[in-house]
Amino acid sequence: MSEFAESFQEAVKSVVLKKGELCDEGEFWTYGWKDWDREHYTDMRDGKCAGWVHTTESEVVEYSFSEFMDTFNGNEDKTVLALTQVFCDCGKYRDRTIGYEGSTGELLGELLLVRRETKW
């Protein structure tokens, strides 16, 4: 891997660690990808858990899937940029995947802090 690619990987890991949410452990994400644990998010917000930590085995993966919205609307295509094999500082979760909704291209804009405008 080139030096640039390694730097980019580290930047992506940093953003996903900071903004990522716990992913469901289920095999399919048809009905949603997030694993909601309100108590843990409250602990993170209140400083009882310092957040997510990656390991040497952590890998950045971009997942694409079709998520069920409701009976009257069609499915919505989603992309989640995920970081595998992470653990939380408080020890509640080990060897889990966290994700940040958006593609690699969308994350690149955020990493580079590119201002976006629409011209009419």
Backbone angles phi, psi at 36, to 5 degrees: -75, 115
**Structure pTM?**
0.80
Provide the 3-class DSSP secondary structure of residue 85: strand
- For residue 118, being part of any structural domain is answered with no
Q: In this predicted model, what pLDDT tens digit does every residue of 28-82 receive, in sequence order? A: 777 788 888 889 989 988 999 999 999 999 999 988 888 888 888 888 888 889 9
- For residue 30, being part of any structural domain is answered with yes
- For residue 117, being part of any structural domain is answered with no
- For residue 70, being part of any structural domain is answered with yes
Range of the domain at 73: 3-112
Residue 46: burial class (beta carbons within 10 Å; 0-12, 13-18, 19+) = exposed
How many other C-beta atoms can be found within 10 angstroms of the C-beta atom of residue 50?
11
